[in-house]
Amino acid sequence: MSTPKYKLIYFNCMWLAEPIRYLLSYVKEDFEDVRLDYEEWQKDDGKINKDEFLYQKLPVLEDLENGLILGQSFAITRYLGRKYSLAGTTDVEAAKCDEYSDVLKDVLKEIEMIYEKDEKTKAELNTNFLEKTIPRYFSVIESDLKKNGGKYLVGNGITWIDFLLCHMAQLFSVLSESDVLTDYPTIKKYQQEFFEISEIKEWIGKRPVTPH
């Protein structure tokens, strides 16, 4: 067995780290998949020293070849995309990848209903998310993806943004308890095809049981 080139530290959930796991699996790189206990992380009993991690946050990627320690999930995915030539072939394509990643960050910020304890308020926030947030952003992505042929969001080959979008669309559906892609058939088909990629299927088949 080859020595892993990377160590990825996160929790036993998909949330922000699964696109990174997908990308590393796609490029067939072994990585140490370190999963900390989230409940232990939330405690202040000193069992987990958060000061050991950048910004006291996860995920963190360690590139064991060059010594880089990198925080922030989107930055990690972008870094790996560039390193493995999955970031577009022109400055324009690279810029579009960055644009769509910022769009997904915007959508993530609006999933506030999952933290709401009042059921009525939570329902109202969820309705707003499904009826306003998703259409605002996904209508544009649907149109752009369709114009680009439907297989890749940017350019003529897979890029790091494809890993993010396919996972995030799935995550948004799980958290909102509704299929956010119902009105976006191009994205839905594109996502289905992404999860049929052999390296992605292989990772899904062997990964630990992982909640979103």
User: What are 48's two structure tokens?
Assistant: 């987990």
The token pair that represents 54 in the structure block: 């950048």
Q: What is the pLDDT of residue 113?
A: 73
Q: Element (H or E) spanning 33, and its range?
A: strand 31-36
Q: 53-76: string of b/e by CB count within 10 Å (b at 16+)?
A: beeeebbbbbbeeeeeebbbbbeb
- Rounded to a whole number of angstroms, the CA Rg of the chain reads 18
Relative to beta strand 31-36, strand 6-11 is: parallel
Mean pLDDT by 10 residues, the chain (212 residues): 91 96 97 95 87 95 97 98 98 98 95 82 92 97 98 98 98 95 98 98 95 88
Q: Which residues pair with 11 in a beta bridge?
A: 36
Helix extents (H) in 53-184: 73-83, 91-109, 119-128, 134-147, 160-176
Provide the 3-class DSSP secondary structure of residue 197. coil
Structure confidence at residue 126 (pLDDT) = 92
Report helix, strand and coil shares of the chain as percent, to nearest 5.
55, 10, 35
Please, are residues 19 and 73 in contact by the beta-carbon 8 Å criterion? yes
Distance CA 206, CA 189 (A): 24
Chain-centre distance for alpha carbon 29 = 18
Quote the pLDDT of residue 1.
60
Q: Is the peptide bond before 4 cis (omega within 30 degrees of 0)?
A: no
Distance separating alpha carbons of residues 79 and 98, to the nearest angstrom: 12
Q: How many CB atoms lie within 10 A of CB 77?
A: 27
Whether residue 212 contacts residue 41, with contact meaning beta carbons closer than 8 Å, is answered with no
Report phi then psi at 69, rounded to 5: -120, 120
- Does the model's pTM come out above 0.75? yes
What's the order of all strands across the beta sheet hosting 31-36?
31-36, 6-11, 60-63, 69-71
